[in-house]
Every structure is written in C-alpha cells, then in structure tokens.
Amino acid sequence: AQSVTQLDSQVPVFEEAPVELRCNYSSSVSVYLFWYVQYPNQGLQLLLKYLSGSTLVKGINGFEAEFNKSQTSFHLRKPSVHISDTAEYFCAVMLTGTASKLTFGTGTRLQVTL
C-alpha cells in the first residue's frame, strides 16, 4: 500500500523568505502526486499536480514542486512567501491506473509572520 510522509508538522517563516515543505512517499507502483492547500475551516484547493513529463511543476500562487523518483520525494517550494500563504498544506498520492483514490499526508502548517 502507498503512504505519504510530511515530516514537518509546522513550518514558521518570515514574510518574503523562501520556504520548502517536504513530502516523501512510498509505493511499489507509479504514482501521481498532488499538493493541496487548506485555509482555516475551508475545503482543499489544488496547488499543483505531477502526472508525467517535466519533473518541475509550477502551480498557483507562485508555488512549484519537483518530483524526484530516486528519492521518492515531491517537495513544495516558494521563493518568497506572503502572510496570505499561512495555511495547512497537504501532499497526496494516487496510484496510476486505478480509481483515483488519494492518500494524504498528515499536513504541514505554514505560519508566515512579519
């Protein structure tokens, strides 16, 4: 069975600083990878996804992620964060060729301060 690990439960960062949120996965078959963002008491919004092709994926709000198959990682990065980026971020995997069931990590709380 597949699993997702987000090692950092909380990441504090100052505004305009760069940030990286880490995501590692385990799976015996190929996967699709997703990053979602959740603002307090709201649903999830897709930031970006990797299905195939270029391993560097650009998403909304200036975020990007890089798929590294050898390290089974899909870390999320932003070169300069804003206060409005404060939210919970979830990494998720989906097995290829199956019903699109997502397996989520436990989330990383990004706290941006002045």
Partner 1 sequence: DGGITQSPKYLFRKEGQNVTLSCEQNLNHDAMYWYRQDPGQGLRLIYYSQIVNDFQKGDIAEGYSVSREKKESFPLTVTSAQKNPTAFYLCASSISGVRDEQYFGPGTRLTVT
Beta strands in the chain (DSSP E): 3-5, 10-14, 19-21, 24-26, 31-38, 44-50, 56-58, 64-68, 73-78, 87-95, 103-104, 108-113
State both tokens at 91.
């990494």
Q: In terms of CB distance, is 14 or 69 closer to partner 1?
A: 69
- Residue 93 Cα distances to 10, 15, 59, 79, 114, angstroms: 21, 29, 16, 24, 33
Asked whether position 3 contacts partner 1 by CB under 8 A, the answer is no
Asked whether position 41 contacts partner 1 by CB under 8 A, the answer is yes
Q: In terms of CB distance, is 4 or 76 closer to partner 1?
A: 4
- Size (the chain), residues: 114
Asked whether position 29 contacts partner 1 by CB under 8 A, the answer is no
Asked whether position 19 contacts partner 1 by CB under 8 A, the answer is no
For partner 1, the binding residue among 42, 68, 84, 111 (CB under 8 A) is: 42
Asked whether position 51 contacts partner 1 by CB under 8 A, the answer is yes
- Taking residues 61 to 100 in sequence order and writing x for each that binds partner 1 by CB under 8 A, - otherwise, the string is -----------------------------x---x-xxxxx
